Amino acid sequence: MTAAARVLKLLLERGETVAVAESLTGGLVAAELTAAPGSSQTFRGSVTAYATGLKRDVLGVDGDLLARNGAVDPGVARQMAAGVRRVLGADWGAATTGVAGPDEQDGRPVGTVYVAVAGPGGAEKVLPLRLNGGRADIRTESVRRVLELLSGELVENARTQDTEENGGN
């Protein structure tokens, strides 16, 4: 089972949805999710916010943070995930931002990537990555890693909810 199919299965079991905010992956995460049969039941949509201004204006990323740290930043990834979740009305948001190359960006070397997820009950996680390879390799690996992060958070969130519902046992 692919990472995308696993994410969609977990979401379907929980009756939840996901939306994606992408920068360096340029829509590849959304493409991977929608390639799986039945994705329309859980995938709300995506925002490809390649331009920094779109991260601010569409996704609600803090303009001061962007001005201070640039778009390749863990806080930006976190705010992108939370923003797409809010803007597209999804239970979960996932985001990618980073430098695929060939040149560095905002003083960050090629292969610097941040993937993030945001979900119900304040669930948030950002994963910093240092990826090797060419542009295509970095983008492909970023897709895989954000889907793995989301899958892991869905499983962990389900465990937390189950523990809370059963009196902490």
Convert the pLDDT of each residue in 44-80 to its tens digit: 999 999 999 999 999 999 999 999 999 999 999 999 9
What are the beta bridge partners of residue 47?
A: 21
Residues ≥6 apart with Cβ < 8 Å to 83:
21, 55, 58, 59, 60, 61, 93
Fold of 3-165: Maf protein (3.90.950)
Distance between CA atoms of residues 97 and 134, nearest Å: 16
User: Is the pTM higher than 0.85?
Assistant: yes
pLDDT digits (tens, 9 = 90+) for 108-166: 999 999 999 999 999 999 999 999 999 999 999 999 999 999 999 999 887 776 655 55
In the prediction, which pLDDT does 168 show? 54
Q: Are 47 and 58 in contact (CB under 8 A)?
A: yes
